[in-house]
Amino acid sequence: MATATATPTGTPGPKVNRIGLPVLEYRGGKTTLCAGCGHNAISERIIDALFEMGVQPERVMKLSGIGCSSKSPAYFLSRAHSFNSVHGRMPSVATGAVLANHTMMALGVSGDGDTASIGMGQFVHMMRRNLPMIYIIEDNGVYGLTKGQFSATADIGSKLKTGVINDLPAIDTCAMAIQLGATFVGRSFSGDKKQLLSMLKAAVAHKGTVMLDVISPCVTFNDHEGSTKSYKFMQEHDEPINELGFVPSFEEIDIEYDAGTTTDVTMHDGSSLRLRKLREDFNPTDRVGSVRTLMEAHENGEILTGVFYIDTAKPTFTDLLNLVDRPLGTQPESVTKPSAAVLQKVMAGLQ
């Protein structure tokens, strides 16, 4: 195994992953977010997931919009190119980047404001295209960076520190993503290390749009009694619909199999995602059922977490475009510039 060669026996050097990198190589700059901000915990889980999955950092492109959440790509994976773009428009930038180099792993970080308000148009269309990328919403129900206004994912009835009550219904980005065509949709909580890590690892193995809505309390503006996106509320109301076990393709599958209560999904790279059902009626490959489950949860005032929907068969946007294997961005001139003879022929046709 890679770890064996990279860590010579006897010398207790830093633990390295299967490609021989220590976790340090997955870190980023020092965070400038508030201490205790849920976004920081998510950055940590991203670092863990990429490290554990043995992803080559240079093979990742990080993309984000604008917001506290969108700053966070600066705080993990410094060895990967990153693009902090404009508010709400990261999906288009990601689309362009993926088209230029579809061999890379694209990892997008957005906020609930960045996605569900200003960025809704682009979000919708990216989901619909099933663009191969991981799209994470760090969802705190407020605009952190502009100091605490409600976002469109704030639950109806939730209260700001200032006492303002949100009287509009929340947009459920997961339900939307499923309906629109994303092929891996889940919700987690920044404070749930285990669940979030498994989900992120499975996301790495998926080919297609992964949409993860991660509840991520804003300790400065939205972590108090009355906020449905607070640590306390989440700890009390989090209802996991399934328990995740993820086995990467390079590990042996030896977890016990409990017929009837688990669903195994084979991911694109051969990894296996095991979903232990907590809800008997839940089948993550049934779009209609998934959306219904989410809608029912809203009616009951529950916040569901888990993987809601997986489809490993649907072609991605780059599949549909029938691209050549080599990235478009580095195609040689001999391929991209037609010959003089071709121009001559075109000219002759116009005479």
Ligand X SMILES: Cc1ncc(C[n+]2csc(CCOP(=O)(O)OP(=O)(O)O)c2C)c(N)n1
**Binding partner of residue 219 among ligand SF4, ligand X, Mg ion, none, CB cut-off 5 to 8 Å per kind:** ligand SF4
Q: What is the dihedral of CA 194, 152, 172, 120, to 10 degrees?
A: -100
Radius of gyration of the chain, Cα coordinates, nearest whole angstrom = 21
Site size toward another protein, by CB under 8 A: 61
Burial degree of 333 (CB within 10 A; 0-12, 13-18, 19+): exposed
117 torsion bin: left (phi>0), alpha (psi -120 to 50), beta (else)? alpha
The answer to the question of residue 3 lying near another protein (CB under 8 A) is no
**Candidate ranges 216-224, 241-249, 264-272, 314-322; the one touching ligand SF4 (CB under 6 A):** 216-224
C-alpha distance from residue 236 to each of 81, 230, 233, 277, 302 (Å): 38, 10, 5, 20, 10
CB within 8 Å of 38: residues ≥ 6 apart: 138, 140, 190, 191, 214, 215, 216, 217, 218, 219, 231
Residue nearest to ligand X (CB): 111
140 binds Mg ion per the rule CB under 5 A: yes
Q: Which of ligand SF4, ligand X, Mg ion, none does 87 bind, CB closer than 5 to 8 A by kind?
A: ligand X
Q: Using the rule CB under 8 A, is 59 a contact of another protein? A: yes
Residue 218 binds to ligand SF4 (criterion: CB under 6 A)? yes
- What residues numbered 146-175 form the site for ligand X, per CB under 6 A? 146, 151
CA distance 243 to 199: 10
The SS3 call for residue 341 is: helix
One of 18, 79, 81, 87 touching ligand X (CB under 6 A) = 87
CA–CA gap between residue 69 and residue 185 (Å, rounded): 19
100 binds another protein (CB under 8 A): yes
Q: Least distance from C-beta 47 to ligand X, angstroms?
A: 18
Q: Which is nearer to ligand SF4, 218 or 267 (CB)?
A: 218
CB of 110 to ligand X, least distance (A): 6
d(CA 74, CA 81): 10
Tell me how far, at minimum, the Cβ of 35 lies from another protein, in Å. 18
Q: Which two tokens stand for residue 194?
A: 């285990």
Give the separation between CA 44 and CA 52, rounded to whole angstroms: 12
Nearer to Mg ion, 164 or 343 (CB): 164
Binding ligand X (rule: CB under 6 A), the pick from 16, 106, 134, 142 is: 142
Minimum distance, C-beta of residue 205 to ligand SF4, in the bound complex (Å): 29
> With binding defined as CB under 8 A, does residue 323 bind another protein?
yes
112 binds, among ligand SF4, Mg ion, another protein, none (CB under 5 to 8 A by kind): Mg ion
Interface residues with ligand X (CB under 6 A) are 66-69, 87, 111-114, 138, 140, 142-146, 151
